[in-house]
Structure 1
Amino acid sequence: MVAPILNDRDMAFWLFEVFDVEQLTRRERYQDHNKESFLAAVELGRKVAEKHFLPIRQKVDTHQPTFDGQRVSMIPEIKPAIEAVNASGLACPSADYDMGGMQLPPIVASAATAYLSAAGSTTLGYTSLTNANCNLIESHGSAEQIAKWVVPMREGRFAGTMAMTEPSAGSSMADLTTSAVKSDDGSYRISGSKIFISGGDHELTENIVHLVLARVKGAPKGIKGISLFIVPKVLVNDDGSLGERNDVHLAGLFHKMGGRGQTSCALSFGERDGAVGYLVGEENKGLRYMFHMMNEARIMVGTSAAVTALTGYQYSLDYAKERPQGRLPSSKDPASAPVNIIKHPDVRRMLLAQKAYAEGAYTLCLFGAQLSDDERTAATQAEREQAHELLDFLTPMIKSWPSEYGPRANSLAIQVLGGHGYINEHPVEMFYRDNRLNAIHEGTYGVQSLDLLARKVPINNMAGYRACVAAIEATIEQAKMHESLQVFAEQLIASLALLQTTTSTLLAAMMEKPIDLALANSVKYLELFGNIVIAWMWLKQGIAAQTGLDATDHQAERDFYLGKLQALRYFFNVELPEIYAWSALLCKLESSAFDMEESWF
């Protein structure tokens, strides 16, 4: 059985029916594009994925990078695969033409690179993190820095990373200790250690450009005293040629349960005289700048999780259609032929759950990509500000919901294959291991839940919260125009009322009770809000599906749309009602975990 990486019809549905990306060609930035060029970009992504990444997928998983104390080694097939991505323009598809990009809308770029991610997993991190690194420097760096560092990264000669996490600080940025001392020439000398740096060392490119968070001597304590620096692996001369090796060294590699195509590194800065670094923007504003890359990376993580769930679903679906085993309970003849396992109701349950999780999650990620575009290219300032506010509010959910439910979908894919699911002759067990990393990348579920409830909800008089609710209500009004969707519109209205009650109760508790108690179950609030947001995404898909269904007599198309509507029905009837139990737990400030004493474990 050879399953496709992703379903091409799904991708066309999301781009042209749910999000109507053709209307983006009316914007000046995209006036050179049309539906054909968008489809060509997606097709290019699929072809590069199938030619360069799919054939080496298992080899990448079974041959992790190694470090002999001098250099990093990895299977040789990775380098030409990464070079193919760079040569195709898919390393930075939404970048400006004059920076080597295709100037695609981010939502189309997401679809084009989804095939690469599905086939290559974290191996694509070498290019995607480089792209995010470039985006940050272009937004906050100087013209000289853009010319010196971004141009060679866009060309694929240099790679880029983000170096934040420290051994003793973890997710607590306020506790980082990497230091920076200003030199007479205006550069800085960086000293400290960073861990879990994806793509932190390799020999795929001429140079690696690290974006490093550090604290200038005398800076305020906490996050207010953090600055951001460009710290290259190899120094670059004024004429653009490579100079001497910087004081940046690989201390060791981490070997992860999945995502083995990309190195995960412990880096040491300044073992001798200090690594040369160049300040980005102003001192003590580094974390604000880094959030540009962090938020992009969070959307990237959520998208990776959704895509990995999609490809696992596609594989298990095709397997279930071809694998004969057992008979239905209604069959009384032991001599009758076994049925393909997709005929068994519980297998269909597992497939439908995967479809609901994966397609709902990816729709949310595409919506986030569209908002990231709207905040820069929408017609009016008011529209741009509205998009920024909504994207900022949704980012914890875009990162967290796919990375929590994506592995659940992959676990179900393993279960569909039964005994064949947990052997590496089939890739679904690898998909699960790869996807399990995403729940930790760029902030855990707990970190994101605290960001949502303690910061994103109350900030600016709940402006982000209110913008999100208003956007959901607008979709509800559209859905009411379709008789078949009215019942789901009413369910979502009831869910919003529950959300409001729960949110008001928790915000009051945060004022009246110990803050740690009020936030003790913040993960359940994130999950509650996330389920409502995914229901919203399914209602968006439902509107497009019902519209398509009403307009066609072609049976294959009708089946496609009916499948979307059935997944919507499943999510609203099976998954969404869980929010009522979570709300009850939250509103009574259930404190079992909070009250648990360390000595009782």
Structure 2
Amino acid sequence: MDFLLHDWLHAETLTQRQRYAEHSRETFDAVLDTCERIAREKYAPFNRLIDTDEPRTVTEPDGSLRVVLPQATHEAHRAYAESGMLSAAQDHDIGGMQLPYLVEAAANSFFGMASISMGSGLLTVGNANLLMVHGTEKQKQVFALKEFSGQWSGTMCLSEPQAGSSLSDIATKAIPDGADFAQDPLGPRYRLRGNKMWISAGEHELTENIVHLVLAKIPGPDGKPVPGVKGISLFIVPKKLVNAEGELTGERNDVALAGLNHKCGWRGTTNTLLNFGEGKFPVGQAGGYDGNGAGAVGYLVGQAGEGLRCMFHMMNEARIGIGMAATMLGMAGYHAALDYAKNRPQGRPITGAGKDASQPQIRIIEHADVKRMLLAQKSYCEGSLALLLYCARLVDEQRTGTPEAADEARLLLEVLTPIAKSWPSEWCLEANSLAIQVHGGYGYTRDFPVEQYWRDQRLNMIHEGTHGVQALDLLGRKVRMEGGRGLSLLAARMNATIERAIQQPELAEHANALAQALQQVGAATKAAWATENPTEALANAVPYLQAFGHVVLAWMWLDLACRVLPDDTTAAAITPERRAGVLHATRYFFHYELTKIKPWLQVVAARDLTCATMPEAAF
């Protein structure tokens, strides 16, 4: 982490900017130390406990369901909230630390490695950040600031049982609550009715209130739902009703827990089906609301019909967060496998005469194939961490850089975000699989943690935009937006690394390989869209995503390799072990991984329709 933050990304230079001027290397290190300590003390020791003692419900006297979580989860949440990390990036005048996002992302990574399903406030922070951009001053004061303090928590409610990722098909409705609906100080007031599925942290008692951000459709002038995404709006729907000063009224909103989803992994996080406006907690005149009492009370965020635009502010942050979660789960498995391989004796060295049974056993890390599996994990996980921190650095550039630099960072993030979310989700899953393999039969038991890491990891290719959705976004939109300018900027940065590396005899082969790979991606992108037929172009979007991601990760490793060579001015403090580790991981990635892109790009360039045209009956 220190190497990536300081030797590679030069985090301390951010303190030269006005927003971060009060910080230093020392304050950055203090934040990292605090988060590592909390993660070690409050999270890691209970990772197995929350997997086996997963959330459960009890029925209250009024017939409602209440969620019960282990005490360890309550204590971890309290410690995290008290650390100030929920408001790490916020202004000093609202209690924030004004940390660079780069440092915030690095600090939060410790919690992902210690216990991903305990959570570290990802959705709460994203929820509050969205309100800080799109909410009214009153909505910021009443809802966002209480989320940043840890007093309240937040969710995002997009998916529905019948719609999944197809947000244009959501059916939740919102109607104005009475004739004076637009006069409520908390925002235009509506009544919502519908069902939301896969809502993480949708019900719990970790905080005194939960702020749901809910997508719903406002009827058109004819009273009917507006088709597609144009009618989708965004609403604040608190679990417990509040007044204009942000005080709880004592009345429950009509948001009911219908049940918990029992998951393969991430068992420590509640995942819920929520019913809005089913009449479980009818809200009427008693609460001061002049509607007909049917529906959950919600307050419009932003403009009507712009719900998706607002929500994607939160989604993009969540996608980078999921990429980091995937990375650190992979890292946890890698470190467990590395420790096991260093200590497990088994087998004997292969010599010219074969194996000599009279010789003592060797540790399995001395076997070439075990080293192969460890090198694969190292290249996937440490490469992913470099990518995620690079993206975090771009976020800081977008927020505090010059107008030109900020615009470049924005475009680069547009192109890289699908990769930052999806590539670690797929390949750190493979790293977790290899961690099990290194452990052999023991890895398949619950006596070792690697099987849990794999189960937790498997979610990351699914939530916050599935793998297929990210692929469609990359090839269908991101690489073509603004005339392909984002892709051109990314290629320019890769070429700058190639020019540096090609001057180094040790890296020249890799530099040429990356240049050829970049050319292949560019050619495949053009070939895919040669007919301007989306059906043909996007039929192999996932292989395109895989190839594109491998090229980006190869670039990461080549740039890291440039940093550790002895004649680099920043390499003086690099230890020989760090240098060897980076150079071997780079060599591994170029020799074993980058070579995979050719068959992926072949089907993209050929607009191969084998999969698209497979008759259903033939399955």
**With structure 2 as the length reference, what TM-score do the two structures score?**
0.92
Q: 1:420-451 CA deviation, whole Å, 9 max, x = no partner? A: 11111111111111111000011111111111
Aligned to 1:533: 552
Task: Look up the match of 1:281.
Answer: 302
Match of 1:5 in 2: none
How far does residue 549 in structure 1 lie from its aligned partner after superposition? 8.0
Match for 2:79 among 60, 81, 84? 84
From 239, 244, 249, the equivalent of 1:238 is 244
Aligned to 1:7: none
**1:92 and 1:102 in contact (8 A); partners too:** yes
Structure 2 residue ranges without an equivalent (≥5)? 60-64, 183-188, 280-293
**Secondary structure of 1:301's aligned partner:** helix
Q: CA deviation at 1:475?
A: 2.0
- Equivalent residues of 2:563, 2:571 under 8 A apart: no
Select the residue among 205, 210, 213 that pairs with 2:212. 210
The 5-angstrom pairing of residues 55-66 of structure 1 reads: 55-66=45-56
What's the CA shift for 1:217? 1.2
User: For residues 68-124 of structure 1, what are the alpha-carbon distances to aligned partners after superposition, in whole Å with 9 as ceiling and x for unaligned?
Assistant: 342101111100110000111123322222333222111111111111111120221
Q: Is 1:67 aligned to 2:57, yes or no?
A: yes
Runs ≥4 residues deviating over 4 A: 547-554
Asked if residue 415 in structure 1 is aligned to residue 444 in structure 2, the reply is no
Contact kept in structure 2, 1:313 and 1:409, CA below 8 Å: yes
Give the alignment partner of residue 185 of structure 1, picking from 181, 184, 203: 181
Out of 136, 141, 145, the residue aligned to residue 142 of structure 1 is: 136
The equivalent of 1:124 in structure 2 is 119
What's the counterpart of residue 353 of structure 1?
A: 376
Q: CA deviation at 1:477?
A: 2.2
Is structure 2 residue 392 aligned with structure 1 residue 369?
A: yes
Instruction: Please tell me whether residue 315 in structure 1 is matched to residue 322 in structure 2.
Output: no
2:275 aligns to what SS in structure 1? strand
Is 2:472 the counterpart of 1:478?
no
Other-structure match for 2:25? 35
Code of the aligned partner of 1:299: I
Between the aligned partners of 2:297 and 2:612, the Cα distance in structure 1 is: 45
Taking the TM superposition and a 5 Å limit, the aligned residue runs for 1:509-588 are 509=531, 511=532, 513=533, 515-547=534-566, 557-588=575-606
Provide the C-alpha distance between the structure 2 equivalents of 1:549 and 1:413, rounded to a whole number of angstroms: 34
Any gaps of 5 or more consecutive residues in structure 1? 1-10
| Inter-partner Cα distance in structure 2 for 1:136 and 1:302 | 19
User: Match of 1:47?
Assistant: 37
- In structure 1, give the amino acid aligned to 2:198: F
1:44 offset after TM fit, Å? 0.9
The aligned counterpart of 2:186 is none
The corresponding residue for 1:440 is 462
1:469 maps to what in 2? Answer: 491
1:111 counterpart letter in structure 2: A
Structure 2 residue 271 is the aligned partner of structure 1 residue 269: no
**Two-structure CA RMSD over aligned residues (Å):** 1.5
Q: What secondary structure does 1:594 align onto?
A: coil
Q: CA deviation at 1:473?
A: 1.4
Displacement, 1:553?
Answer: 8.5
Give distance in 1, aligned partners of 2:25 and 2:148.
26
User: What SS does structure 2 have at the residue aligned with 1:104?
Assistant: coil
How many residue pairs get matched? 585
Paired with 2:569 and 2:140, the residues of 1 have a C-alpha distance of 51
Find the residue that maps to 2:85 and give its secondary structure.
coil
User: Contact 1:548/1:561 (CA < 8 Å) preserved in 2?
Assistant: no
Q: Indicate the residue corresponding to 2:285 in structure 1.
A: none
**Equivalent position of 1:8 in the other structure:** none
Evaluate the alpha carbon distance shift between residue 459 and residue 43 of structure 1 in structure 2; reply closer, same or farther with a 3 A threshold.
same
Distance 2:170 2:510 in 1: 47
Is the contact made by 2:81 and 2:150 (CA closer than 8 Å) also made in structure 1? yes
Residue in 1 that maps onto 2:289: none
Deviation string 1:525-557 (CA, Å, 9 cap, x unpaired) is 111111001111111211122258887789x91
Residue 456 of structure 1 and its aligned partner are, at CA, apart by 1.1
Among 525, 535, 544, the residue aligned to 1:503: 525
Deviation of residue 486 (structure 1)? 2.0
Distance in 1 between residues matched to 2:388 and 2:488, nearest whole Å:
20
Q: Distance in 1 between matches of 2:246 and 2:599?
A: 60
| Partner in structure 1 of residue 2 of structure 2 | 12
CA distance in 1, matches of 2:264, 2:423: 21
Q: Is the 8 A contact 1:229 1:278 kept in 2?
A: yes
Counterpart code for 1:542 = A
The one of 286, 300, 305 equivalent to 2:321 is: 300
- The residue type equivalent to 2:201 in the other structure is G
CA 1:239 to 1:466, structure 2 compared with 1: closer, same or farther past 3 Å?
Answer: same
CA distance in 2, matches of 1:421, 1:332: 26
- TM-score, normalised on structure 1? 0.95
